Amino acid sequence: MAFKSVLIATTLLLLFGMYGEPFLNLLGVSIHAFRISGGILLFFTAFNLITKEIELNVEKGNKDISVFPMAIPMMAGPGSLTLAILLFSQSEELTADLAVAASVLTITIATFFCMLLSRHLKRVIGKTGDDILRRFLGVILAALAIQFVYDGIVNIAGS
């Protein structure tokens, strides 16, 4: 599941970074509107982390979270996709594009190893620690989501 999440997120970040701006322009969607919609979707994920009892029995195959919410929007969310678009659009040389791609790969590989270690961490902190950590990170994620929406609105209003 970790590998699948990282593979999906890496592919999305690289493809959307390289082709996202023309794709959004073709649809008539501004990067700011994209940030707002992504922030709203991210907020729903954060809200679920905070309020719901999540019992995922991944070992028995009851629920595959590798696409949603892990790859999208956690790893390849509005902030990282927007940043990928901005970094790729600012680079004018192949070496700069390769550096951005190498950065994406480095970050997603590091994320993969963190995901592999998460099972061990969960054993160490136990169910109570897991609940506390999940809800705390849900609050942080909600704040980030609101910030994405706010930034998008401010940029649209300023245009």
**Sequence spans of domains, the chain:** 2-158
Q: Which residue has the higher pLDDT, 120 or 89?
A: 120
DSSP strands (E only) in 25-114 = none
| CA–CA separation, 73 and 16 (whole Å) | 14
Establish how many alpha carbons lie within 13 A of residue 85's alpha carbon, considering only the half-sphere containing its beta carbon.
19
Q: Which of 92, 110, 89, 96 is closest to 9 using CA atoms?
A: 110
pLDDT of 115 reads 94
Note the pLDDT of residue 42: 87
Looking at residue 68, what DSSP letter applies?
I
**For residues 134 and 131, what is the distance between their CA atoms, to the nearest angstrom?**
5
Q: Which of 6, 12, 4, 2 is nearest to 108 (CA)?
A: 6
Amino acid letter, 73: P
Average of per-residue pLDDT across 11-31 = 95
**Mean pLDDT, rounded, of the chain:** 90
pLDDT at residue 116 above 90? Answer: yes
At 133, give phi and psi (nearest 5°).
Answer: -65, -45
Task: Give residue 42's identity as a one-letter amino acid code.
Answer: L
70 contacts 99 by C-beta, under 8 angstroms: no
Integer CA distances (angstroms), 32 to 21, 40, 103, in order = 12, 13, 24
Query: 28: which DSSP letter?
Result: T
Lowest-pLDDT choice from 11-25, 50-64, 79-93, 104-118: 50-64
How many beta carbons lie within 10 A of that of residue 158, not counting itself? Answer: 7
